[in-house]
Amino acid sequence: MSIATVEGTDALMKHKRTAVILATGGIGLVRAAYSSGKPAFGVGPGNVPAFVDGSADIGKAARDILTGKCFDNGTICASEQSVVADRKIDAALRAAFEDHGARFLTADETERLAAVVATGTNALNPKVVGKSASVIAAMAGISLPEGVRCMIAEVAGVGRDYPLSMEKLSPILTYYTFDGTAEGVEICQKVLQYGGMGHTASIHSRKRDVIEFYGERIPASRVIVNSPSTHGAIGFSTDLEPSMTLGCGSWGGNVTSDNISPWHLMDIKRIAFETREVIPNAPPRPATSRPKATSIAPVFAPAPVERANIASLVDRFIAERRAEAPPAPASQPAPATPPAEKASTPVEAGPAPGAASEFVCEDDVRRAIADGRKIPVDAKTIITPAARELGDTRDVFARR
């Protein structure tokens, strides 16, 4: 289709040559896919709460949350949307956020921001999606100091009366405090119920019992622990299946809660040989009498498994994985290499000199600015919105 339309999409989904559908979009598109009569995978929106327990590493928690929220200006559906913090660490967490480039808004600024982010029907204003904090602040008449990359707004509740409690797809966080783990979990549940059921939630804590309590009660298919939610959910900082298409399970009206991968789009044929006899070592059945039930011994007697043993095994495995990580290289004297050879050795892998890059993200642009070099791009280069905005502002791109 040269022009995408609802009618055209519906025709494609029902076409005889369509074998399977992967629907990424609003609930209307997902329902249409499920109603097409074809096998379909649908995914839903995220509205990720980031729970910060009193035991958390406060500096790392603040840094991780902003890393996830600000990546590509918050357009990843698994990015953090709300911070739910233990009141005991409130002051320290606020300071840590400000140290890492966030700014807490006043009540008046929060009201003006909400008027820009939400439309009259309480939907997300598409004009703020993927924009930087400074651009959105200017739209709302808010003055931000240089270097602020995220705005944090305190709100009193969740739902239609609090527009900023929805998924914002921009570098904006809402902020809540709680007394007691149960109250914090309840706030996170409400955040997910207001537009992110089944998608993703995150928690920052050093207490296993708190993490288990949170994980068991949160209606999310992915619970990311002590990592940026964006990078953890898509499998970059965790061992989840690498994917940008994240199912929400039955909570979100989806057929799967998995990270959608190529495996979901393939038919897999299995040829299965017998691995265990149904009646092992059974004697020939007598023709005139029925064998006694006690003549057939059980195939196996599984040993009982203790949850504590499993938890200990997992902790030991993770600790060993971390211990096996290669240490940072110690500083050593540079080898005696001719200057010409040094200059010809690339610092990192990338496109050949003069060749256009295939993909450019915001981190690529920042590294180029720091190195004082240009990034070659052409019409086929994929540039993320945040990278394009920063690159155009700092004149980093060399067009081919």
* Distance, CA of 110 to CA of 194 (rounded, Å): 19
- Please count the other Cβ atoms lying within 10 Å of the Cβ belonging to residue 41: 21
For residues 76 and 170, is the Cβ–Cβ distance under 8 A?
A: no
Is 77 one of the annotated active-site residues of the chain? yes
DSSP one-letter string for 367-394: HHHHHT--EEE-TT-EE-HHHHHHHHHT
The CB-side HSE value for 94 (13 A sphere, CA atoms) comes to 14
* Distance, CA of 230 to CA of 70 (rounded, Å): 9
Partners of residue 360 on adjacent β-strands:
383
pLDDT at 287: 65
For residues 131 and 73, is the Cβ–Cβ distance under 8 A?
A: yes
DSSP one-letter string for 239-257: SSPP-S-B--TGGGT-S--
Task: Spell out the domain ranges in the chain.
Answer: 6-43, 48-242, 350-399
Percentages (nearest 5) of helix, strand, coil residues in the chain:
40, 15, 45
* Distance, CA of 73 to CA of 254 (rounded, Å): 27
For residues 197 and 251, is the Cβ–Cβ distance under 8 A?
A: yes
Q: What percent of the chain has pLDDT over 90?
A: 65
293: pLDDT strictly greater than 60: no
pLDDT at 197: 95
Taking only the tens place, the pLDDT of each residue in 43-67 is 989 999 999 999 999 999 999 999 9
DSSP one-letter string for 243-310: -S-B--TGGGT-S--SBP-GGGGS---------S-SSTTPPPPPSSSPPPGGGS--S--PPP--HHHH
* Cα 338 → chain centroid: 46
For residues 174 and 153, is the Cβ–Cβ distance under 8 A?
A: yes
24 or 116, which is more confident?
A: 116
Q: What is the mean pLDDT of residues 316-329?
A: 67
386: pLDDT strictly greater than 50: yes
Q: What mean pLDDT is reported for the chain?
A: 87
Closest CA to 178 of 83, 69, 64, 59: 83
Closest CA to 49 of 18, 22, 81: 81
Taking only the tens place, the pLDDT of each residue in 355-381 is 888 888 888 888 899 999 999 998 888
Instruction: Write 156-160 long-range contacts (CB < 8 A, 24+).
Output: 158/187, 158/190, 158/191, 158/193, 158/194, 159/190, 159/194, 160/122
274: pLDDT strictly greater than 50: yes
Radius of gyration of the chain (CA): 27
The catalytic position among 77, 150, 188, 248 is: 77
Residue 212 zone, left/alpha/beta (φ > 0; ψ -120 to 50; rest): alpha
Residues 6+ apart with CB under 8 A from 342: none
pLDDT at 27: 77
- For 48-242, the fitting CATH number among 2.40.110.10, 1.10.357.10, 3.90.420.10, 3.40.309.10 is 3.40.309.10
For residues 32 and 44, is the Cβ–Cβ distance under 8 A?
A: no
Instruction: Write 54-60 long-range contacts (CB < 8 A, 24+).
Output: 54/86, 54/88, 54/89, 55/205, 55/206, 55/207, 55/210, 56/89, 56/204, 56/205, 56/206, 56/226, 57/204, 57/206, 57/226, 58/89, 58/92, 58/93, 58/96, 59/96, 59/99, 60/204, 60/226
pLDDT at 231: 97
109: pLDDT strictly greater than 90: yes
The CB-side HSE value for 221 (13 A sphere, CA atoms) comes to 29
Secondary structure letter of residue 165 according to DSSP:
G
- 74, containing H or E segment: none
Torsion of CA 68, 72, 76, 82, to 10 degrees: 50
* Distance, CA of 229 to CA of 133 (rounded, Å): 19
Confidence category of residue 335, pLDDT binned at 50, 70, 90: very low
268 or 321, which is more confident?
A: 268
Owner of token pair 């200006």:
73
DSSP one-letter string for 210-238: HHHHHHHH--EEEEEESS-HHHHHTTSSS
Closest CA to 72 of 385, 310, 370: 385
